[in-house]
Structure 1
Amino acid sequence: MKIKNWGSYLMVAAFLVVTQSTQGQSIFGKWKTIDDKTGITKAIVEVYQEKGLLNAKIVRVLEKGREDAVCINCKGDLKDKPVKGMHIIRNFKKNGDNEYKGSNLLDPESGTTYRGKLWLDSKDPDKLKVRGYVAFLYRTQTWHRIKEGE
């Protein structure tokens, strides 16, 4: 075998490794939320699948002094309930490769529910884009994947 052929094999092998590592990333798991306006780290959210639908709940509040926060602006049965353990995304449906859409995205600070979508950042699969819509206006946060041991 000629040396020149080895270079081709190495390029193909490197391409396969890179492709496998980016395709293997899942939207599901634990994510650190960061407020897009203030830059403050807020919480750890677990994104999980139930009956084929995407859901998410707050598993830990990280913001100093708000660890025991309650949802004072929420309506109905969520009013004055602890933010920790609260389901903030319910029943989003898959809408393509690692993109999910739905109409039940809760902001526990304002108590408002939005239409929304989630997708992995195309340049960094350890970043999750979370966008909430009101009419044609939207706001997007970037959440950061929590890796084991963090």
Structure 2
Amino acid sequence: MTASRWLGLAVVTTLLVSTSALAQAPSAVGRWTTIDDETKKPKSVIAIYEEGGKLYGKIEKIFPDPNAPENPTCDKCEGALKNQPIIGMVIMRDLKKDDDEWSGGTILDPSNGKTYKCKIAVEDGGKKLKVRGYIGMSLLGRTQHWVRAE
């Protein structure tokens, strides 16, 4: 085989390997429906986006209870977020890619106003997002599974 054929074969092999690797790594970027832990009903839609190599998540829509306000404010939040509308609020911040997950950032729970360390991972071929909020180390926390919004 000539050198030019070897080079061509190497280029094709590299393209095939890199294309299949990209196909196997679904992105966390997109719209995700959060599910209430107790009722198992949809609670909100979070838009996750990338900015400066980090992931952020903003509340795009909520599904309030029948007697609840349609656009509540975060009365339990502190600082600049105190009494701000929940819809449009950035609740997930500064997650950095770490192998098959994103970590090193934080997530805010508007229902109690508390901020937790956070890590996320895409599962089920991109259909689910495993979201872990915790204090201190990852063992002390709670995991939710969000589903990709239609």
TM-score (normalizing by structure 2): 0.77
Cross-structure match for 2:32 = 31
Q: Identity of counterpart residues, as a percentage?
A: 41
Q: Is the 8 A contact 1:106 1:113 kept in 2?
A: yes
Cross-structure match for 1:131 = 132
Which residue among 87, 92, 102 is the counterpart of 2:104? 102
Q: Is the 8 A contact 1:36 1:140 kept in 2?
A: no
Q: Secondary structure at the match of 1:77?
A: helix
- Say yes or no: does 1:69 pair with 2:69: no
Residue type matched to 2:64 in 1? E
* Pairwise CA RMSD: 2.1
Per-residue displacement from partner, 1:98-134 (whole Å, max 9, x unpaired)? x11124210010100000100012x342000111002
Per-residue displacement from partner, 1:37-96 (whole Å, max 9, x unpaired)? 332311110000001000010011122334211111100010110000000011111111
Cross-structure match for 2:13 = none
Quickly say closer, same or farther: Cα 1:120–1:66, change in 2 above 3 A: farther
Runs of 4+ in 1 over 4 A off after TM superposition: 19-22
Q: Distance in 2 between matches of 1:130 and 1:93?
A: 14
Cross-structure match for 1:10 = none
- The offset of 1:26, in angstroms, is 1.4
Q: Is the 8 A contact 1:45 1:56 kept in 2?
A: yes
Quickly say closer, same or farther: Cα 1:23–1:124, change in 2 above 3 A: closer
Aligned residue pairs total 128
TM-score (normalizing by structure 1): 0.77
Q: Is the 8 A contact 2:96 2:105 kept in 1?
A: no
Q: Distance in 1 between matches of 2:69 and 2:149?
A: 20
Q: Distance in 2 between matches of 1:91 and 1:103?
A: 5
